[in-house]
Amino acid sequence: ALNLDEVIRRSKTAADMGAVNALCPMQPDCALPADSPTTDWKGQKVAFCCAGCVSEWGRIDDTERAERLAKVK
């Protein structure tokens, strides 16, 4: 498990990449690595902890995407 300082450090990196979220919307307990995969959704850059989560994101509808993203901003 990552300590809070590590989570904050990684979150800042995701924000520095221009991502709108601090944690992965598919696995909110996962911090975002410095080389997080991202996708654009409705004009926002969304970062994920891994490519598998990007694929999962692609399989859910916009309503669920909005709900998940709101929880990790």
Query: Binning pLDDT at 50, 70 and 90, where does residue 59 land?
Result: very high
45: number of Cβ within 10 Å: 15
Three-state SS at 19 = strand
Can you give the pTM of this predicted structure?
Answer: 0.78
pLDDT by residue (tens digit) across 18-33? Answer: 899 989 999 999 888 8
Q: Report which residue type is found at 20.
A: V
